[in-house]
Chain A
Amino acid sequence: MATSDRKINFAGIVLNGNRHLCAFFHSEDEEFRALLPFMVDGLTAGEKVVYLVNGNHIEEHRRRLKYGGIDVEAVEQSGQLDVIGWPPSVRDSDAFDQAKSVDDFLSAARNQGYRRARVVGDMDWASDNQIPDAYLIALEARLDIVYSRHNAWVICAYDLSRFSGVAVLDVMRTHPVALIGGVIQHNPFYIPPEQMLEELRERGEIDRHD
């Protein structure tokens, strides 16, 4: 399958190369204003769009997409848009399983014929579920590995009022590109996922096998 050669625009710049972005926001409005065009562009280009949100607020997020001009019923019915409650189930409780779920749905999208997928993670699901910082970072590192195997553009959106300093800093370190204050930059503080996982183990924050 040929990869799509369409350009990806986000926050006013064209993305290339690195595909796993973190984005930090001070409010939900600021967040939605930045993420909506990214999703609309993907839908318009015929790409798969996956929106990961807190499972208790799926309807609210769908309403906001509709309000933003997306024909949610139509694109959900066609299979182009999935709004998925996260974490996917109680069973998928560890970082390894969650990363596998993402790997699975990206493979499924490819099998459905989508040349590219856009994934937006509204990371409120993590703060709402009191996911420990170390676990969250282990998940981001594992996902960094998964995303490198797919033709997917990914934005992990963090509301700054909900996350600790440790979490924000290590989130920066697990994403090669970051959006801060509306500006996207390649992130020199990024470290490879294996190194991050090793550091978490050395700090004693995750188990050897995590």
Chain B
Amino acid sequence: MTKSDRKINLAGTVIDGSRHFCAFFHNKDEELRTLLPFIREGLDAGEKAIHVVCAEIGSEYRARLRAAGIDVAAVEKSGQLDVIAWPNSHLMAGGEFDPDHALKMIDQVLGAAREQGYRRTRGIGYMDWALQNQIRAGALMAYEARLNTILTRYDDPIMCSYDLSFTGGAVVLDVMRTHAAALIGGVFQRNPFYIPPEQMLQELRERGEFGRDE
């Protein structure tokens, strides 16, 4: 399958290079207002859209997309949009979030989209699913770090969106360090604080936040 060569716009910037991004917002309105053009551009171009949302707000999220003028029923039925609710039981091992399973699932849905014939997928992770379910910070950061390795196999832009009202200072900083570019205050920039996944995992182990055997 050939890759899409269409440009991707985000907050007034054309995206190129590594595709794992983070975004920080002060509230839901600012979040959706900023991400909507990115979502619409992909749908209009016939790309796949995968949105991971907090399990409790799946229907509320669909309603917000509808209110913004997206024909949610049609794009879900055609398979162009998947709204995935997390955490589901597959992500949890012994009541704890399991990064391995989550990464496998992301790999699967991106691979499946490609097999369905989509030349590009735009993924958005509304990270409330992790923050509101009190997923352990070390496990979440290990997931974010290792997602970089998975995404090297894809050309798909993946945006992890963090609502600052649920996020502590230490998490914000580690999120910065696990994403190649960041959208902050409406400005999208390459991120010089990014470090390779192996280095992040090593640091998490040294801090005792993520076990050697994990």
Contact = CB atoms under 8 A, between A and B. Distances in A.
A163 B189 contact: no
Contacts of B153: none
Interface string B180-214: 00101101011111010000000100010000000
Contact of B187 (A158, A183, A189): A189
Given A162-B169, A165-B172, A180 B193 contact: yes
B172 A169 contact: yes
Contact of A26 (B165, B190, B207): B207
A140 B140 CA distance: 30
A186 interface: yes
Contacts of A173: 184-185
Given A181-B177, A199-B185, A164 B190 contact: no
B165 A189 contact: no
A26 B173 CA distance: 11
B170 A180 contact: no
Contacts of A166: 26, 164-165
Interface string A186-210: 1111010000000100010000000
A168 to B, nearest CB: 4
B184 A165 contact: no
Contacts of A161: 169-170
Given A186-B192, A188-B190, A189-B184, A164 B168 contact: yes
B15 interface: no
Contact of B185 (A158, A164, A167, A189): A189
Given A165-B164, A169-B24, A185-B193, A180 B177 contact: yes
Contact of B171 (A24, A165, A188, A199): A165
A117 interface: no
Contacts of A186: 192
Contacts of A180: 173, 176-177, 193
Contacts of A185: 192-193
A11 interface: no
A160 interface: yes
Nearest to B187: A189
A207 to B, nearest CB: 19
7 nearest A-B residue pairs (beta carbon): A165-B167, A168-B169, A163-B169, A160-B170, A165-B172, A185-B192, A188-B189
